[in-house]
Amino acid sequence: MHLDPIPFRLAPDARSRQLSSFNDRAEIRWFGFRGQWVEPGWAEIEFERIEAGALGGGGVDAINGGVIAAGFDAAFVLAGLGHYDSKAVVTLELSVQFLSLARAAEPLAFRAGVTKSSRGFAFAQGALLARRGGAPFATASAMIAPASAPRAAGSYAAEVADQTGRR
């Protein structure tokens, strides 16, 4: 990863509640993911189990690219939950760079951290790593935001575009 994460904004007790809620989410359990915090500002997602349907990327023993993208999405959401006192964090943008095959036979972890944030959104970076160490199998970057009350169609995108100078 290029940048170290900024430290979590939420206190440990608030993060503990966020983590418990995150790990209880249906989609997290469905993918076989499990999240944890790593100080000072890392979120990690590990596979508790890998189903046969998650395989097939570049060969039958590698994790499918769509599952890798989902793992990064989960890691970025968890990283955001360490910064925002919100029941949910959403991914506004996700970019994944696949570097080599991630074999299911070895323990893997998605590691993500927020590198820059404001009240309304944050930028984050992450990597898919083998627990034994070594070069990443994939890297990713994202823009995330705390979920808020429903807005008129397109208004949130316009607000983010104004704040990031992307208009």
Interval 45-103: pLDDT, tens: 999 998 877 888 666 688 999 999 999 999 999 999 999 999 999 999 999 999 999 88
Cis peptide bond N-terminal to 40, omega within 30:
yes
57 to 48, 54, 101, 135: CA distances (angstroms): 19, 8, 7, 18
pLDDT at 155 > cutoff 90: no
User: Residues in the chain, how many?
Assistant: 167
- Phi, psi (deg, nearest 5) at residue 12: -55, -40
Residue 91 is predicted with a pLDDT of 96
Query: Cα–Cα distance between 149 and 132 in angstroms, integer?
Result: 42
Q: What is the pLDDT of residues 10-57, one digit of tens each?
A: 999 999 999 999 999 999 999 999 999 998 999 999 999 988 778 886
State both tokens at 83. 């910064």
Query: Cα–Cα distance between 132 and 35 in angstroms, integer?
Result: 18
Query: Cα–Cα distance between 113 and 142 in angstroms, integer?
Result: 10
Burial of 54 per CB tally in 10 Å (0-12, 13-18, 19+): buried
Map out the domains of the chain with their CATH numbers: 12-164 (3.10.129.10)
Where residue 149 falls among pLDDT bands split at 50, 70, 90?
very low
CB-based burial, 85-123: b 16+ in 10 Å, e otherwise:
eeeebbbbebebebeeebbbeeebbbbbbbbebeeebbb
pTM of the predicted model, to two decimals? 0.86
DSSP secondary structure string for all residues of 81-138: HTT--SS-EEEEEEEEEE-S--BTTS-EEEEEEEEEE-SS-EEEEEEEEETT--S-SE
